[in-house]
Amino acid sequence: MTANLGHSSILLAWLIALLGIVTPIIAARTGEGRYLSIARYAIGGQFVLVTLAALALIYGLVTTDFSIKYVAFNTTRATPIYYRVTGLWGALEGSLLLWEWVLIIFAGITAWIYRDRHHEMMPWVIMIFSIVSAFFLGVVGFLSNPFETMLPVPLDGRGLNPLLEDANMMTHPPLLYTGFVGLTVPFAFAMAALIVGKLDEAWILTTRRWTIIAWFFLTAGNLVGAWWSYHVLGWGGYWAWDPVENAAFMPWLPATAFLHSIQVQERRRMLKVWNLSLIIVAFSLTIFGTFLTRSGILSSIHAFSSGPVGGFFLGFLTFILLGSFGLLAYRADLLKEQPELDSMVSRESAFLLNNIVLVSALFTIFLGTIFPLLSEAVAGVQVSVGAPYFNSVTVPLFLFLVFLMAIGPIIAWRRASWDNLQRSFLWPAAASLLLGLSLFMWKVRDFLPLLGFTLLAFVVFTIVYDTALALRARKRIAGEGIIRGLITLTRRNQRRYGGLVVHLGVVLIIMGIAGSMSYSVEKEATLALKQELQVGNYRVQFDGLKGTQQPTHFRVEGAFRVFHHGNDEGIMNPALKFFPTQQSPIGRAVHQSSLSEDIYLILSGFSELDRNQATLKVLVRPLVIWMWIGGFVITLGTLICILPMRMAQLSET
């Protein structure tokens, strides 16, 4: 019943999506408004039906309706209700439905907000949304149906992968999907602008806020993913350059580049083709990411050809790339650039370099991700490209990006004079060099971390110094104090100050990455009762083992007393969980954070007989916590950028 309702809603929504593709074309051709109204209703209809389908699947999951195969594979009777709901994105079919749901919500909001504006572009925006929606509905409806039924109906389900039963997994996929789908809005407007031939800055100004929101969700999704990996996967790291992670990270790079380069177009009417290309690439990468992670191609190139989903995604990707770049070529005559760079020492040039670096990073990561696939497909040789490749290639690029992060927001547009440069950068540069020197005297002796921390300090100092100068001016003009002055400055130019706060958040994240990449220590040992192990500034003492029967599994837990610099930090309990449905135990690593470093304990074995021995892996990772703090700072900065504040209309940049 539930299954029928869900599946028929999907199929009906698919038909309506086709209507949503055709009617805008007729509307644009005939100029008759009623076709456009039909197209709007088509978006509304899809919204209602897809929501119905998603709710049907959630209902099936919550009521453990095991006649639906997807429910049987992703829940059990013992699964708590919130994990039943999150089962919606626990596997391929459901997560595609979630994607479509988020997409149609964005389409609905867009169609509603701009119902009285952009009369020329809106039909095409609706058409682009309907094309993407029809694609996903087609996949969900015909190829990868979450409502497939199962006979005989099993007595109990198999359940979600226990690793996915975690609070972060409730948020990570929806955040990421919201980011991916959010990029559809600027993409749809870009395509509409190309089709209509209205290639001024209108599409960029309209979608600016959408782009910031999409970027924020992409960032948050990736960070929460990293946190989940660190917190749950239990290997002590947060990023492995695994293709699945790369697939989620790659769209972030052109999206970030786009966010910067559109400012050059707004301000200087340059980089039109470049901006259009960036948004096409960013959007295509979201589709490519799904193809990569969901077609099975990663586990084996041969798994890809056996399933229809992969080919379908690849076909759609080709269609998007050919269609959008074809449009770009068709409109080439309208995209001629007038102004050129006045000087290499200017803000537009800093933004251009930022774009080159981001696109280079994208290219190298893309290459490293697909190289094993190409090698196996073309030469039949199986190779793997490991984390050292990604680190050695991206670290210099990202360090250069940090340097640009200090320069870009502060340096003058068009042409910066020597005087300008001295005034903005002399003191910050001197202060950061001094800090670098003291770090060196203290104990940071390796070149890359030293350079990294110095550059990060440079970013912070330029931001603080620039803001301080502006505050001094406020004091002189209006007699405002620091707090009052900050409020006025932010209200006058939300995007600038919000952006600077986001930069501070990025600085914190990179600081966490640099610290934990360069100065982690790890040790493993088998400890007898009361035996101690010294790792870095921590001492760990084994205090015994305990086994308990949990509702879904048997849990063996070690007790380890932890001392940091000699201070007793209490007991930590890493565990191994034995699920009856799984062949091997699942480790439950634990960690304790401080502002300077984290300790991370992984229980990897124990003596079954007398319970007086445990094999333990201990990692000490400096500064990791700053990555998560940076995430909150980015959230704050984004809010400053997008929240409507009084006086925002006065803003200029």
Partner 1 sequence: MPRSRRFLIGGVIIIAALSYMIYGGMQEAMVYFVTPSELKAKESTSADKFLRLGGMVVKGSLQKDLQNLTYRFNLTDGTATFPIFFKGVPPDLFAEGKGAVVEGRIGSDGVFQATTIMAKHAEEYSPHKDGGPPAKSFVPAKEASIK
Least Å distance between CB 457 and partner 1? 25
- Spatial distance between the Cα atoms of 452 and 401, rounded to a whole number of angstroms: 11
Closest CA to 178 of 216, 144, 204: 216
Kindly calculate the radius of gyration of the chain based on its CA atoms and give it in whole angstroms.
27
Q: How far is the CB of 240 from partner 1 (least distance, A)?
A: 6
Nearer to partner 1, 96 or 627 (CB): 96
Residue with smaller CB distance to partner 1, 549 or 584: 584
Q: How far is the CB of 512 from partner 1 (least distance, A)?
A: 19
Residues 6+ apart with CB under 8 A from 44: 108, 111
Phi, psi of 129 (to 5 degrees): -60, -40
Q: Within 13 Å and on the Cβ side, how many CA atoms surround 27?
A: 23
Report the residue number, 144 or 494, with the smaller CB distance to partner 1.
144
Using CA atoms, how far apart are residues 559 and 257, in angstroms rounded to an integer? 48
For partner 1, the closer of residues 92 and 126 by Cβ is: 92
Q: How far is the CB of 148 from partner 1 (least distance, A)?
A: 9
State the minimum distance, in angstroms, from the CB of residue 461 to partner 1: 28
CA neighbor of 447 nearest in space, from 455, 393, 148: 455
Q: What HEC string does 92-143 produce?
A: HHHHHHHHHHHHHHHHHHHHHHCCCCCCCCHHHHHHHHHHHHHHHHHHHHHH
Shortest CB 385 distance to partner 1, Å: 6
Other residues' Cβ atoms within 10 Å of the Cβ of residue 383: 11
Residues β-bridged to residue 502: none
**DSSP string for residues in 359-375:** HHHHHHHHHHHHHHHHI
Smaller CB separation from partner 1, 263 or 394:
394
Which 3-state string (H, E, C) describes 164-218? HCCHHHHHHHHHHHHHHHHCHHHHHHHHHHHHHCCCCCHHHHHHHHHHHHHHHHH
Choose between 85 and 240: whose C-beta lies nearer to partner 1: 240
Q: Which is nearer to partner 1, 161 or 651 (CB)?
A: 161
Q: In whole angstroms, how close is the CB of 360 to partner 1 at the nearest point?
A: 5
CB of 408 to partner 1, least distance (A): 18
C-beta of 296 vs 499, nearer to partner 1: 296
| Residue pair 136/294 in contact by the 8 Å Cβ criterion | no
CB of 163 to partner 1, least distance (A): 4
Strand partners, 533: 540
C-beta closer to partner 1: residue 110 or 229:
229
Handedness of CA 326, 330, 331, 335 (dihedral sign): positive
Q: Which is nearer to partner 1, 534 or 581 (CB)?
A: 581
Spatial distance between the Cα atoms of 518 and 620, rounded to a whole number of angstroms: 11
- Quick one: 51 or 161, whose CB is closer to partner 1? 161
Chain centroid to CA 511: how far? 19
Nearest approach, Cβ of 584 to partner 1 (angstroms)? Answer: 5
Reported residue count of the chain is 653
How far apart, in Å, are the Cα atoms of 11 and each of 17, 226, 556? 10, 36, 48
What is the nearest approach in angstroms of partner 1 to the Cβ of residue 49?
24
Least CB distance from residue 521 to partner 1, whole Å? 15
Q: What residues have CB less than 8 Å from 218, skipping those under 6 apart?
A: 176, 179, 180, 182, 183, 251, 252, 255
The rounded Cα 493 to chain-centroid distance in angstroms is 26
Residue 1 or residue 379: which is nearer to partner 1 going by CB? 379
